[in-house]
Structure 1
Amino acid sequence: MKRLIAAGLALAALASVPARAEEIKELNFGFISTESSANLAKSFEPLIKDMEKAIGIPVKPFFVGDYAGVIEGMRFKKVDVAWFGNKSAMEAVDRANGEVFVKTAKPDGSSGYYALIVTNADRSDINNLKDVLDCSKGYNFGNGDPNSTSGFLVPSYYVFALNNVDPNKCYKRVVTGNHEANLLSVANKQVDFATNNTENVSRLQATRPEEAAKIKEVWRSPLIAGDPIVWRKDLPADLKAKIYTFFMTYGRLGTPEEITHAREVLAKTSDGWGVFLASSDAQLIPVRQLELFKSKVKVQNDDKLSADEKAAKIKEIDAKLAALEEQQKKLPSM
């Protein structure tokens, strides 16, 4: 553990940045909009307060109505550190000079969650993926934020692309919402089914058990990597060192009382977290592969393209997939 922290601090110290930590008067922490800002603020407030004490400057939460707002906030340096899903983290890395440095884990040390399609527990006509993909019923579908991994990217590929179904053509109405809004829409029978994930279902079970009891799962994805925490690459190296030390020691090092306190805070954060795990941009490779696989399926099913055009586009996608596979072989698993 000490070697891991030391390695992280060394990497941070090597970063070529002109500013120093004392020039940063406060740190803006961005949060993806999985639910209402009020609920997120209440959930993360104890962690933010402990982070303030550890790094020595105020930590200000940054809430906006969608994932894109947090990504753009980081791009324009209004957000310094952010909790993302893997898809939105990829956008932050590619567009906003972000970098993954740790990821969330469960109290038992495992890291990961599952995307879901959920419907109301009363629905006897919707029980599996075949029912979801029945375009003759005129269903109303609750889709997720386009930058959400579990709410959009994963079901877009595994549910719709692989089955050659376009939700906008298949369903009577497609509405977009965050995870909490989609769960409540299903519970209140405002949509027939919606995307979601195991983390937010667990959180609803804890915060609104009556609504959670009205939800049933009809499809589950392969495992998705734990949520990444991303910082701006151009933050001062000494501030990065303080931030990294906080995340990697929180709930691990300190007096028995401090460790117990930190683990109690983490257990009440979001859907219930354990200590953070070291990570890097390497954890985003499967998401990049998924985006390319989805594009490949779309090209293969595009009747407007000639055979030569299809072949050229598929060759280009396959080259990118091969490059990612080689990159993944050279990196430690996350």
Structure 2
Amino acid sequence: MKKFLSLFMAMFLVLALAACGTNGKEEEGTATEGNGGEEEVTELTMGFIPSQEADQIADNVKPLEDYLTAELGVPVKAEIMIDFVGLVEGMRTGQIDIGFTNPFGYVQAVDRANVEVLVKAIRHGSDTYKAQFIARADSGLTSVEDLVAKEGLTWAYGDTLSTSGFLFPASKLMDMGVEDLNTFFTQTAVGGHDNAVLSVLEGQADFATTFDDARTVLEKDHPNVMEEVVVIGHTDPIPNDGVSVREGLSDEMKNKIKEAFLAINDKPEVLSVMNEVYTWDGIAEATDEEYDIVREVYAKFKDQLEE
């Protein structure tokens, strides 16, 4: 009897381990193991995080889906994520193959999911950008010094995991003397850079922090936003956001993805999609070392953000 139970348990463990080794994407039929032992991709999913209304992004990226599908030879679909945490987790579990990662999201994704950055954005001829502090023109707030001199202000930002929306501005505020951000300001995460600008415009927040210049996203619906909401300061330069891929894709597929994105520079109709969604004017190759400055800022908040 004991021998029978031992044999039964051994067989059970083998089956259980085999089941645990099954990848979710494989179950869906999007990735299988080829004859050479490498993963054979039959579908790719791109993960986006909101910089504007999610349904608007979904509509705008359709031409990019079509372009990449043609270039890569497999169906490519877009998925709008709720936040950066969801994107990182999606890449870790293999549900997201290609991620549009902001600088901090990329650093976190490397730590948690061993992703690899392929390309980065070019804006206004530069591969770096700054975060901006904004306030209403009639608020009396004219500098970052004004913010640290007046406790109790309401601060709006898109997401605590946003590089330009929170991390670099928070680091600057701390360097300027704010010891406890949580008690000094009333913080409100509003889910996107456009919403942060809107919070200031409508008087729901005293100031906001966004990428430079997120106000332009609202110009179509709010023509006076550039006059009513003003920039009162900037952070140090930040490496631009980029496109990363999950662990497990073959070198051949990663190279195809990289080359497809770089080729967008010569395709104005597709580049206009990147500009519409994330204000990209061009695309350049990226390396992991460029994001070391982001790692330094992340180190200040790592314990807090991983609670």
* TM-score range for the pair, normalised by the shorter chain length: 0.7 to 0.9
Quote the Cα distance in structure 2 between the aligned partners of 1:267 and 1:207: 18
Q: What's 2:189 paired with?
A: 176
Shift of 1:229: 0.9
How far 1:267 sits from its partner (Å)?
Answer: 4.2
Counterparts in 2 of 1:120 and 1:43: CA distance versus 1, 3 Å: farther
Residue 15 of structure 2 corresponds to none
Percent identity over the alignment is 28
Matched residues in 2 for 1:228 and 1:132: separation? Answer: 31
Number of equivalences: 267
Q: 1:198 to 1:27 in 2, by over 3 A?
A: same
Report the AA paired with residue 116 of structure 2: E
Given that residues 271 and 282 in structure 2 are in contact (C-alpha distance below 8 angstroms), is that contact kept between their aligned partners in structure 1?
A: yes
Number of the residue aligned with 1:120:
136
**Which residue number in structure 2 is paired with residue 291 of structure 1?**
298
CA distance in 2, matches of 1:134, 1:31: 37
Q: Map of 1:190-229 to 2, 5 A cutoff?
A: 190-205=204-219, 208-229=222-243
With normalisation by structure 1, the TM-score equals: 0.73
2:165 is matched with which residue?
Answer: 151
Task: Check the 8 A contact 2:132/2:211 in 1, yes or no.
Answer: yes
Q: Look up the equivalent residue of 2:148 and give its one-letter code.
A: L
Return the offset for 1:207.
5.9
Distance 2:53 2:268 in 1: 28
Residues 116 and 220 of structure 1 are in contact (CA less than 8 Å); yes or no, is this contact kept in structure 2?
yes
Q: Deviation string for 1:261-290 (max 9, x for gaps)?
A: 34444444422x233101121121111122
For residues 129-152 of structure 1, give each alpha carbon's deviation from its aligned partner in whole angstroms, at most 9, with x where no partner exists: 12111344x322213412111111
**Which residue matches 1:68?**
85
* 2:100 match: 83
Q: Does structure 1 conserve the Cα–Cα contact (< 8 Å) formed by 2:47 and 2:79?
A: yes
2:260 corresponds to 1:241: no
| Match in the other structure for 1:42 | 59
Structure 2, unaligned stretches of length 5 or more? 1-35
Match of 1:261 among 248, 260, 269: 269
C-alpha contact 2:104 2:298 (8 A) present in aligned 1 = no
Instruction: Find the aligned partners of 2:221 and 2:66 in 1 and give their Cα distance.
Output: 22
Counterparts of 1:243 and 1:165, CA distance in 2: 44
Give the alignment's Cα RMSD to 1 decimal.
Answer: 2.4
Determine which structure has more spread, i.e. the larger CA radius of gyration. Answer: 2
Which amino acid in the other structure matches residue 84 of structure 1?
T
Length-normalised TM-score, structure 2: 0.79
1:191 Cα deviation from its structure 2 partner? 0.9
Aligned counterpart for 1:165 among listed residues 149, 173, 179: 179
SS of the equivalent of 1:250 reads helix
AA partner of residue 110 (structure 1) = S
User: Partner amino acid for 2:233?
Assistant: W
